[in-house]
Amino acid sequence: MDDDIRLLEQTQPSDGDQIGSPRSGTDKDHPADVIIYHLFKLDPIYVIISHLIKLKNAMDKPSEKPLTKNEVMKAEKPDLSGTIRETLANPAADRFSGDDEQFIKFHGIYQQDDRDKRKVAKEYSVMVRTRQTGGIVPAAQYLVYDELSGRFANGTLRITSRQTFQFHGVAQQGVGSLIKSINEALSSTLATCGDVNRNVTAPSNPPVDEVTQQIEDDAFTVTRALLPKTTAYHSIWVDGVQLDLGLGDKIAKARASVDQTNPYLPPPADHDDSGAPVDLLYGKTYLPRKFKTGFALPPNNDVDIFTNDMGYVAIVEGGKLVGYNLLVGGGLGMSHGNKATYPRLADVIGFLTREQVVAVGEAVIKIHRDWGDRTDRKHARIKYVLQEKGVEWFRAELAKQLGAALPAAKPFQFKGQGDAFGWAQQRDGNWFLGLFIETGRVKDAGDYRLKTALRVIAERFSPTFRLTATQNLILSDVKAADKAALEQVLRDHGCAIVFNPGLVKGRGMACPALPTCGLSLAESERVFPTILGKLEDAQAAAGFGGEELVVRMTGCPNGCARPYNAEIGFVGKAPGKYNLMLGGNREGTRLARLFKESVPADEIPVVVGALFQQYAKERKNGQAFGDWVDQASVWPVAPSA
């Protein structure tokens, strides 16, 4: 048989030949051609085999897919400047367009428009995202943000699932002044979006001992080491924008609150032989896709560490921080209908000491830089490198980068995630207060005047604002004598819910979605409180009202609010319809699975309510809903082959 196949390979028609006729050309009368001609005419099996051989040969050839447009753009403009300066200088421009829509992401900006108004006309704006390692925002810096959100954005501040602030609805004419002022207040927007390492998350609670202080310090060390070294950012937004907004006093206080040094200034760029600046870590084309890093301290997985591209899990022995376990390869984004994309939790790679945090971080970045897929942005995260090449391959490649393999990881265990609400004492004797912020939106709405309350608190008590990875807020460094007065400010402004939201609202999370996000397929933030309320009613009807439940919602499959490892996740599929994900756990260490596609929003309480009823009857003592549903006989039976 093998000999026959080889003969057929030697005699099969070329790509330009017609099946069923002798080959054209000078040797058309060759006896072999006559034989082949008759075989094609008389034996259809030969034709089939010939086609199979050609198909096999085509599949054996290495794929030479072209680079994505983004890769070409980055190579042509490695300083990431695009034509941003020219657009800012044009008073008639109402948006960034063309390649600049991609370049501005590296500067912390997304081009958006108000989708509620599209039927009339597109009303363009941008979203601007700050950098706040571990979610830390000094009170004086917060007051600058509060002022800027009213002057240049839609009057609100949005806490993100990665411990940053977002300004929504920023008009084109205000973006320069906004970013310049953020930098003057000693923060930054550099690399909070784009194909680079983004905001570094870390435990939200303020230091209560030496270990937690060291973790916070290491998070800032990694932040600075992994910043891109482009000079265009400061040239455009800091040096290139002239303004006097009358914020001199607020800016001065913000600068004083962070010791006069911006912790988000990148290290100086290296230079090539011609003297041109170069970035030895990222190169000219940076990473194939976004990269997210976090720090976690067991047993509380409050940053969802397994969902990060790279995670540092603190290892404490004898009350001392001895180092970290390295996690690599997490990421939740996917695309509907594209089986080559999927959510994934990170793998545990090995153990490193505190002295290695930068070297290991840079090594992981380089592996993503060199091995990530630059031909398909939907398949470009480092999670696909881990999944397709394997953990052992990655360990070996990391060892090449470091010059030695990492030791085996040390044991650790997470017992839960989420934020604690109420008062707790810090290491220095001061106090901190955990507050529930519904869907992360700091706003004034009717009698609920949270934005005003937080402004008053910042002015009177100067606490440190700490943004959590579940879109909530911690006010730290509060003196014992100020606790009651601070609480009263919140109550006086109609914000009593921030103290005790319950274990469903307090664990819930939703992305902004409509009307600002251009990727959203369905509502999220605007409908989530209503849906969550109906699920609480369904809990009560089933007899377990008020019990902890991790519910998350996104308007598209990119997973910004991390629905893919929630006990219950809703992922927007179309207007008013959601894919229902079930079976993640409260520890954040297991992925949910697709239970039902395209569930109409008004049917969600019915579908989930029926599961609640069954759960109440079948659960073991203390068994969480996510753990029960993961094993229960409720899953649709797969069709037989």
Which residues participate in catalysis according to the annotation? Answer: 129, 198, 290, 292, 511, 517, 556, 560
Residue labelled with tokens 């937004």: 237
- Three-state SS at 199: strand
Q: Which two tokens mark 310?
A: 């790279």
Non-local (6+) Cβ contacts of 616 within 8 A are 542, 543, 544
- Neighbouring-strand partners of residue 293: 200, 310
Q: Are 495 and 445 in contact (CB under 8 A)?
A: no
Q: What Å distances lie between residue 518 and 116, 165, 175, 351, 471, CA to CA?
A: 11, 19, 19, 40, 21
Q: Which two tokens mark 562?
A: 């991390």
Amino acid residing at 272: D
| Positions of E strands within 102-179 | 109-113, 124-129, 136-137, 157-159, 165-170
Q: Which two tokens mark 492?
A: 């006086």
Query: How far apart are the C-alpha atoms of 102 and 562, rounded to whole Å?
Result: 24
Query: How far apart are the C-alpha atoms of 638 and 465, rounded to whole Å?
Result: 49
Between the two ends of the chain, the Cα-to-Cα distance in Å is 31
Q: Which two tokens mark 339?
A: 């089986």
**Nearest CA among 103, 197, 158 for reference residue 516:** 158
Query: How far apart are the C-alpha atoms of 476 and 138, rounded to whole Å?
Result: 10
**Nearest CA among 104, 83, 68 for reference residue 194:** 104
Helix, strand, coil percent content, the chain, rounded in steps of 5: 40, 20, 45
Residue 214: count of CB within 10 angstroms of its CB: 16
What region, left, alpha or beta, does residue 326 occupy, with left being phi > 0 and alpha being psi -120 to 50 degrees? beta
Residue 580: count of CB within 10 angstroms of its CB: 23
Residues in the chain: 641
DSSP 316-339: EETTEEEEEEEEE--B----TT-T
Amino acid residing at 237: W
- Three-state SS at 499: coil
Q: Which helix (H) or strand (E) holds 179?
A: helix 175-184
Cα 176 to the chain's mean position, in Å? 25
